[in-house]
């Protein structure tokens, strides 16, 4: 029995993760002098509503002690654990996981992976590990499966402003200045485990720009695509879904994916994006 553990920034709802056989450990959102467990004690829309009203939100990584407790719990019922987490350049979470493994002296039974990603791309890495294990793979092969998916993923996000990322220390002042220009939306992507401003485009052109990037990256390959959105804006969700279905891409599987509270606290309301990988 091998367990797959990831953290709440994968943005898989708890019930969905349970059905998929994936365990989740939560980060913490700090808002209005309260400490709330990501996805468990706060809904994403609560964060966006708070931010739209001028409030601030911050986050903290999973503590070493919390990791140690969860690892002990999992190892009571499993032989080993594959533990896959958001980029170490965005959070101390994965480093805390490694420290917990060292404290427990369980390096042979717990295998920690820095995905270099967050949100839906992180979920894809965890799902790849779980799928490999269900096919009979050993933990080392499951780790390789997760790492392989990480290299295949193409993901871009568009945010109204880079100010939230700058405030949270996830982006420097120079990059924030580069991205924040009137009438333009910054396009972000993962590079070397960091979330970087790649380019700017006109507000109305952000969606076709990103989908054009998917085509440039994959051509006519069959694809799995996730539409990532911050908040339950039905009009925006419908527009994003329609854009994918009319894009001409060879989509074999598509799903909508809601950004969670921790990710939302850093990117802010109005964020959306697309993640694609070979089907």
- Taking only the tens place, the pLDDT of each residue in 78-126 is 999 999 999 999 999 999 999 999 999 999 999 999 999 999 999 999 9
Cβ burial 223-246 (10 Å sphere, 16+ → b, else e): bbbbbbbbbebeebbeebeebbee
C-alpha to C-alpha distance for 46 and 55, rounded to whole angstroms: 11
- Mean pLDDT for the chain overall: 92
CATH C-level class of 2-27+62-152: alpha beta
CATH 3.30.1180.10 spans which residues of the chain? 154-278
Please state the rounded mean pLDDT for residues 204-225.
96
pLDDT band at 23, cuts 50/70/90? very high
CATH 3.40.50.10170 spans which residues of the chain? 2-27+62-152
Give pTM, 2 decimals.
0.91
pLDDT > 80? residue 178? no
Is the CATH number of domain 154-278 3.30.1180.10? Answer: yes
Lowest mean pLDDT, pick from 174-178, 185-189, 219-223: 174-178
| Contacts with 54 (C-beta within 8 Å, 6 or more apart), sequence order | none
The vertex-154 CA angle with 241 and 247, nearest 5°, equals 35
C-alpha to C-alpha distance for 65 and 103, rounded to whole angstroms: 10
pLDDT: which is higher, 228 or 176: 228
Please state the rounded mean pLDDT for residues 250-264.
95
What does the pLDDT look like over 181-191, one tens digit per residue? 556 888 999 99
Q: Six-digit token pair at 240?
A: 């994003």
């Amino acid at each position: 029995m091998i367990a797959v553990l990831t953290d709440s920034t994968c943005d898989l709802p708890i019930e969905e993760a349970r059905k998929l056989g994936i365990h989740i450990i939560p980060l913490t959102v700090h808002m209005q002098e309260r400490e709330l467990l990501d996805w468990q004690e706060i809904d994403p829309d609560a964060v966006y509503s708070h931010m739209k009203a001028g409030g601030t939100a911050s986050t903290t990584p999973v503590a070493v002690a919390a990791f140690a407790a969860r690892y002990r719990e999992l190892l009571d019922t499993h032989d080993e654990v594959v533990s896959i987490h958001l980029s170490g350049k965005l959070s101390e979470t994965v480093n805390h996981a490694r420290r917990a493994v060292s404290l427990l002296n369980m390096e042979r039974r717990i295998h920690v992976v820095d995905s270099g990603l967050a949100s839906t791309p992180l979920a894809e890495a965890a799902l790849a590990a779980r799928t490999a294990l269900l096919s009979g793979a050993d933990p080392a092969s499951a780790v390789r499966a997760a790492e392989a998916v990480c290299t295949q993923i193409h993901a871009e996000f568009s945010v109204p402003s880079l100010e939230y990322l700058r405030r949270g220390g996830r982006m420097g002042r120079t990059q924030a200045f580069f991205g924040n220009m009137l009438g333009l939306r910054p396009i972000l992507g993962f590079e070397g485990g960091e979330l970087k401003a790649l380019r700017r485009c006109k507000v109305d052109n952000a969606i076709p720009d990103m989908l054009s990037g998917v085509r440039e990256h994959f051509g006519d390959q069959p694809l799995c695509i996730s539409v990532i959105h911050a908040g339950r804006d039905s009009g925006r969700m419908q527009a994003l879904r329609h854009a994918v279905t009319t894009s001409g891409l060879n989509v074999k599987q598509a799903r909508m994916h809601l950004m969670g509270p921790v990710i939302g606290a850093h990117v802010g309301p109005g964020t959306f994006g697309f993640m694609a990988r070979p089907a």
